[in-house]
Structures are given as C-alpha cells and as structure tokens.
Structure 1
Amino acid sequence: MKAIVIGAGLGGLLSAARLSKAGYQVEVYERLPITGGRFTNLSYKGFQLSSGALHILPHGPTGPLAQFLREVGADVEIVRSDTTTVRVPLKKDSPDYSEGFRDIPFSDFPTLLSHKDRLKIALLTVSTRKNRPTGSTLQAWLRSQIKDEWLVKFADSFCGWALSLRSDEVPVEEVFEIIENMYRFGGPGVPVGGCKGIIDALENVIAAHGGKIHTRAEVSKILLENGKAAGVLVGEEAHKADLIISNLGHVATACLCGEALSGDKNSEYLKQLETLRPSAGIKICLAADEPLVGHSGVLLTPYARRINGINEVTQVDPRLAPPGKHLVMSHQYVAPENIKNLEAEIELGLQDLKEIFPDKRYEVLLIQSYHDSWPVNRAASGTDPGNETPIPGLYVVGDGAKGRGGIEVEGVALGVAATMKKILG
C-alpha cells in the first residue's frame, strides 16, 4: 500500500511517521525548501527562533503530541514546565500595569473574584463536567454566570494565547473540551531542541521505515479514479497512491481537487468550507541577558493592550540561545478587522512589552505575523470539519483539522490520531 502526504508540516510528518511504521510505502511532497512548516527552528544571531509555534507543547510530556511521538518511536525529550502564571495589576481595576503588578498561579485566577463568585465558580466547575453548556460563546456564557469583567479579561488572554481568538469567538462547548484536556493531560512543557527537535525525530522515523520526503516539490492537483483519490500531480509528473493525506487544510485541499467536489452531493461540505476562516497572530522574539519571565511556563497578560502571553524556553533548554542569553517570545491575537493594519498592532504589542518588563533590558530579535495563507490556524478552533473529506481515500490533517478541545499542536496530534484510527483501525 502506498500513501502520499501533501505538506511536510507537523501534521504531515506525524501522519507519514505512523503510516510508514505501519508498513505503508510513504512519499511526502513539500513545496518549501525546508520541512516543518510553522513548526521548526530558524537560526538567527545564534538563537533558535521558531517559524510558528513557540517551542512549547500545551500538555507537555503527557499530552497527545508526546503520546503520538512515543507511539511512532520518535526520540524527543519533553520537559514539563514548572508553572504558569498570570500577571495582574496590584489594583484590580487599574487598566494597565503602570501602578505595579504581581504574578499569581494560573489556578488561582478565582482569587480575584468576590467570595460569592468564587463559590459560584467552584460549583460551576463541578456541575459543568457532567452538564456542558452549549449554544453560545465562552464570553456570553461567562457574562451570564458571573458579572465580573476580570473573568472576560482572563478568558481573552487565555483564548488569545492558546487559540488566537477572543473569548467571544470561541464556542463555549469547545472551551470545556479544552478544560477537560487540561485535567486529563496536564500543563505545558518544552521539547529539548525546540520545534526542530521534534521535526528531526519524525524525519528519522520516516527514513528508518523507508519513507521519502521531497522538498521543493509542490503538488498541483489531486488525481481521482472512479471518484476515489488515486494520486497527485507534481509538476508534470503523476504519482499514484492508494491513500492521500493533505496537511494543507480543507480549503486548499478542495482547490487541488478541482471540479471533483462540485455537485449537489458535496454542497453541504462546500458550504461549511465557505464559513471557515483562519486565525491570525503576531509573535515578538526577544533576547535578554537576564531572565524576563523567570520560569519555564507561560506568563498570561490579561491587562495588556495586545500581548496575550509570553514564554521563556531557555529556562528549559539554554541551547536555544547563545551562552548567557535568554530567548523570550510573546504572542498576540490579531482581530480580522486589524489584519490590514499590522504595523499598528505590532506597535501596541511593543508598548505592552515595555510595561510588562519595566526597567528590563532586552533586544527585539524578530517580529513575525501569521495570517491569510500563513495563519496561526487554518480553521478557528471549534469550527473545522474534521479529518474526512467527501472523496474516499483523501483525508485532511494539521491545524485546519484538529481534534475537539485540542490546543495548538496538541490539536494537530489529536486530529492525526483520529485519522490514523480511521485508516489503520
């Protein structure tokens, strides 16, 4: 059996590693000159910056991605982060950090509520594990339960960091799946070697089982025979296969199918694709001679203008920076209406960093934006159509087809695992 994987991003390489281990003859075609897509390292001034993801796995060494890596035999060390904190002003109602701030543990966010609301949160935590709220956004549900804008700020910071969305854009049921996964898998961790440590390990697995990865090889068409996926066109050359896995997202994959998806029988699927929109964000990479965050987890910043969260991965792996240096990366959500004004969004993020790290010396290494065809996620969390397509033998993986409740790369792993279960049983 032969499988072709379109795209050598994380989802594509996870799929290729699992299928090659299962005995498939695997070929991966990647249009870029490098593998990893938005999940690899960029060497710059002695720092190992990332092309997308921030060298951190939301569920660390016990999460879906770590489990999948162990399943395929990828040799990656993942170190659990020591803590995740939330930076809040000393005065709760202060609009910024200018009058001082303190960091509280992530789990202590209810302490900023009244005693009555803390009790209500505790009761809701218990009751909603069995009776999940549905039919609204997270923000609307929070406001219907507790009249405190702190919760909205906290939710926006978390959703901005984890999903590149505001809390009024995320279905409440998706957030509760995310919370359930936090209980199930635990908090974040850092892979030694950063994103590329994982990509290199997956490439080794694929090669060990006879798989091949072709870079600078763009797939221009998905070939069908009798209505079933049967291969791909690369340049002028056709490559036949029994199975096609696309890491391009549903919309781009549909475009490669041409007229094959037209017709009434596929109309509902195509309508769903029309509603999908990618999520956008900005990452700012900093170099410092001293620790800025001071721990290896995430620092959430709900009172900032734009920055949602920050991490300092050199707390785990100092080799991601030159000797004596620290690598710090911030992430901020970009609203759809602000994508055309990225310079202003970047400036607001830079102003945030000055207030978040007052009296600290750092250098801005690189500013990266993710939107349109190079987004944070190809489909906003809770909206993707799953991994199957109307064409037999054609599946979609990656950040446009994540599992329910999957944050970032953990969702990619959940989606790939679900796809492999359908294919391999």
Structure 2
Amino acid sequence: MKVSVIGGGLGGLLAGAALSKDHDVHIYEQLEIYGGRFTNLPYKGFQLSTGAFHMIPHGPTGPLASLLRDVGANVDIVKTNPEATFMTKDLKQIPFRDFNELLSAASRSRIPALVMRTVTHKKGNVADMVWNDPEWLAIADSCCGWALSTTAQNTPASEAVAILTTTRKYGTPGVPMGGCKGVVDALADVIESNGGSVSLNSKVDSIMVEDGKAAGVVVGGERISSDIVISNIGHKLTSRLYDGKYLEPKYAGVINKVRPSAGIKIVLAAEEPLVGHPAAMFTPYTQRVNGINEVSHIDPSLAPEGMHLTMSHQTMRTPDVQKEIELGLQDLKNLFPGKKYSVLMVQSYRDDWPVNRISSGFDLGNLTPVRGLFVVGDGAKGKGGIEVEGIALGVRNFLDIFDKAY
C-alpha cells in the first residue's frame, strides 16, 4: 500500500518506520528538520532539545523502547540511577521512594489508603484522589507537572491510575544516547533503508477525500495519491485539511473542546553539577518549577567537555508567559543558591506547539470521520502512557487497527 504521513514528529516516524517494511511510506514535514518536539538543536557545544528532555520515561524496558526494537531502530537507552529524587524544603535530595519523609504524621497516616486508591480510584481528578490535602497536593502537582504538564486538579484520576499501573509494569526512566535526535535519526534511517522517504520543507496543503475515504495529500500544489493517510499533527489541525462536509458535528464539537497542555522549559549550563545525577529531581516546594534533570551525567556528548546540561520544566498555570518564565527563573535561583550557571534557552510550549496537543487522559484515539485517515502522536496517546511512551502506545493501537482493517 502507498502511505502518506503528515508530519515527521516522533509519532509519524514511529508509524512510518513500522509500516515501511511492507509498504511504500512517504513522510511530509513542513519544517527543515524532522523530529518535531523530539530532536536536538546544537548550540554552543550543547545538544538542546526541541521539546522533550532527552529522557524516555520507562527506559529500555518501556513501550517506546519495545517499539523501536520491533521496527529495527538501533537506539541505546541507558537507565537512570537513581530512579528519581525529591528536593526537600531545606534543599536536600531524598530518594523518590522515601517521599513519606516530606509528609507530616497526619498526612503520612493516609499512605495505606492512598495505595489502595492508586489501584481502584477512577473518579474525579488526582487532587480528589489525594483528598486535596495540601501536603499530598504539593507532591502530586510536582509529579503531574513534570510528567504531563498538568496540575493534579486537571489530571483525571483514571489516567493517573493507568500511569501508575504502566510504571509498575515497565519500570523507571532512561536516557537515549545522542539524546532525542539519536531516536529520530534511527527511525528515519529505518524508513529510508526500507525504500521510504522523509521530505523536509514539504507542507501538506490539504487531504484529498473521495467518497468519504482518504485518497492522498496535496503538497505544494501537487496531488499525491495514497491508500491511507496518517496525520501526526493532531485531530484539530488535521480536520482543517479536509472538506468540512466530512467533519461530523459530534466529532467537531469534541475536538473544539479538548485543550492542549502547556509548559515552559528552562535550559541551564553549569560547570559544576546542579542536580548531581541524571534522573528527574522533583521540586514540590517551588512557585512554578515541577522538576529538573541533568542527563549529561549519562551522555556527556550532550554538553561540551567539563560542562553539564540541566533542564527544568513547569506547567503553565496562567496565560501570562513572561510572568511564568520569571517565576521559574526565580525558583531556580532559590533551588541553587550560590551555584554558578547560565541560562542557555527558555522555551514555551502552547497553542499549536504545545507539550501535548491534547492533555493526558483526554486523548481522542486514532480514528477520524474519514475512512483511511488516522491520527498518531500526542493527541492520540495510549492510556497510561507518559509523554513519548503514550505516543508509542498510541502508535501500537493504530498498528492493531491497521492490521485488522487491511
């Protein structure tokens, strides 16, 4: 079959690589680089990422690593040690599993009940799940903000339970050698070695639909026929590419209601380690920053010799981007008093370039009202998948649908 893929982000590359062994796959990317929010930007000897944190949530044993192996993408993923830490109020780090040390006796007494809730609680949001207890909320907001760019209040409890189940199954994070670019380069190599292509600076103008079925794409005025079309640009942007008569009212109502998750990343350069290890350090006692990592401990090639690459992340709590950035920068000063570092880059992710096109727990799946038109990526994540793991689970779901239909 001839397959056209709109967008060369991680989801599009994963789907394209999986199908390229047996099908004729062509990916059309409007930017001059592929990878979307999952690749590298070289700057002053550092390998800065366009979005993700050079980290794979479940390391070499998770859904993304498994799918990479299945499609033949050669990526070395090294597990982090420790798995994660928390920064306490007095600026000391404790192991993630010792989170009870952050709690008062009263809040600590709720641990057995919360353990049960992490298995059975499916109603409301994460804030409800932790009884809106301020001490528990600080921890929950830090974890939700770092992993999902959401708050405890706007994260469904059912999704949190699914994520915890997935984490128990697959384990803790890892760092892909070469950073995000190491992953997407390997996928592009698979596609091209199988006879497919990844075309850059190639914006898809529209999706051709005949008798309710996707018939191809129009790129730069050229009509390119295909048997199926896969979109990696989310449900809303995809719907703008085909005739509105195929946009079912119910579906249109849903895609107009869903909201992306927005976040801010601040990238630091330092000669001495700020975090001191490659894993995530959660920061529950800040104004904005939810967590920080320092992956150059595992892959020194991500920073110049003798330097460290440190990245913080925070969910956006207000639309005032400049104010949110200022609060994040102040948090970093408070977290690392007396430490010498410089700010390499500040990135905001929102609107049509968000952290997730649809916030975790509200994903719309792979199907569209048009037969033969599918969506993959961060608007079609699999349930219980954190960020890129969710993208991989969503691509797995798509592949199951594809196998049954074709």
Superposition TM-score tier, normalisation by shorter sequence: over 0.9
Q: CA deviation at 1:128?
A: 4.6
Q: Distance in 2 between matches of 1:355 and 1:315?
A: 23
Q: Tell me the amino acid that sits aligned with residue 28 of structure 1.
A: I
Q: Distance in 2 between matches of 1:70 and 1:121?
A: 38
Give TM-score scaled by structure 1 length.
0.92
Q: CA deviation at 1:268?
A: 1.8
Cα distance 1:127–1:41, how it changes in 2: closer, same or farther (>3 A)?
closer
Q: Tell me the amino acid that sits aligned with residue 308 of structure 2.
A: H
Match of 1:97 in 2: none
Q: Tell me the amino acid that sits aligned with residue 59 of structure 1.
A: H
SS at match of 1:299: strand
- The answer to whether the aligner puts 1:2 opposite 2:16 as a matched pair is no
Q: CA deviation at 1:102?
A: 1.8
- The answer to whether the aligner puts 1:400 opposite 2:399 as a matched pair is no
Give TM-score scaled by structure 2 length.
0.97
Q: CA deviation at 1:142?
A: 1.2
Q: Distance in 2 between matches of 1:376 and 1:101?
A: 28
Match of 1:233 in 2: 218
SS at match of 1:345: helix
Cα distance 1:128–1:322, how it changes in 2: closer, same or farther (>3 A)?
closer
Q: Quick one: which of 126, 141, 152 aligns to 1:156?
A: 141
Q: Distance in 2 between matches of 1:359 and 1:115?
A: 33
Q: Quick one: which of 205, 216, 225 aligns to 1:220?
A: 205
Cα distance 1:228–1:75, how it changes in 2: closer, same or farther (>3 A)?
same
Match of 1:381 in 2: 360
Q: Quick one: which of 95, 100, 104 aligns to 1:110?
A: 100
SS at match of 1:135: coil
User: Counterparts of 1:65-80 in structure 2 under 5 Å?
Assistant: 65-80=64-79
Q: Distance in 2 between matches of 1:377 and 1:36?
A: 15
Q: Tell me the amino acid that sits aligned with residue 229 of structure 2.
A: I
Q: Distance in 2 between matches of 1:408 and 1:112?
A: 26
Q: CA deviation at 1:124?
A: 3.7
Q: Distance in 1 between matches of 2:109 and 2:286?
A: 28
Q: Distance in 1 between matches of 2:134 and 2:109?
A: 17
Match of 1:95 in 2: none
Match of 2:312 in 1: 330
> Alpha-carbon deviations, 1:87-143, whole Å to 9, x = none?
111xxxxxxxxxx322111122123335565454234424652xx222311102211
User: Counterparts of 1:341-360 in structure 2 under 5 Å?
Assistant: 341-360=320-339
Q: What is the CA RMSD across the aligned residues, in angstroms?
A: 1.3
- The answer to whether the aligner puts 1:306 opposite 2:305 as a matched pair is no
Match of 2:23 in 1: 24
User: Counterparts of 1:204-283 in structure 2 under 5 Å?
Assistant: 204-262=189-247, 266-283=248-265
Q: Distance in 2 between matches of 1:347 and 1:422?
A: 45
Q: Tell me the amino acid that sits aligned with residue 105 of structure 1.
A: P
> Alpha-carbon deviations, 1:37-73, whole Å to 9, x = none?
1100000000000000010111111111100000001
> Alpha-carbon deviations, 1:171-226, whole Å to 9, x = none?
10010001111101111110000000001100110011000111111111111111
- The answer to whether the aligner puts 1:125 opposite 2:115 as a matched pair is yes
Match of 1:14 in 2: 14
SS at match of 2:93: strand
Percent identity reads 52
> Alpha-carbon deviations, 1:261-303, whole Å to 9, x = none?
24xxx22211111111111111111011011111110000010
| Structure 2 gaps, min length 5 | none
- The answer to whether the aligner puts 1:55 opposite 2:54 as a matched pair is yes
Q: Distance in 1 between matches of 2:256 and 2:36?
A: 24
Match of 2:37 in 1: 38
Equivalenced residues, count: 403
Q: Tell me the amino acid that sits aligned with residue 122 of structure 2.
A: T
Match of 1:412 in 2: 391
Q: Distance in 2 between matches of 1:42 and 1:300?
A: 25
- The answer to whether the aligner puts 1:183 opposite 2:168 as a matched pair is yes
Match of 1:96 in 2: none
Q: Distance in 2 between matches of 1:124 and 1:245?
A: 40
Q: Distance in 2 between matches of 1:391 and 1:118?
A: 51
Q: CA deviation at 1:149?
A: 1.2
User: Counterparts of 1:283-322 in structure 2 under 5 Å?
Assistant: 283-322=265-304
Q: Tell me the amino acid that sits aligned with residue 48 of structure 1.
A: Q
Contact 2:100 2:108 in 1 (8 A): yes
SS at match of 2:3: strand
| Structure 1 gaps, min length 5 | 90-99
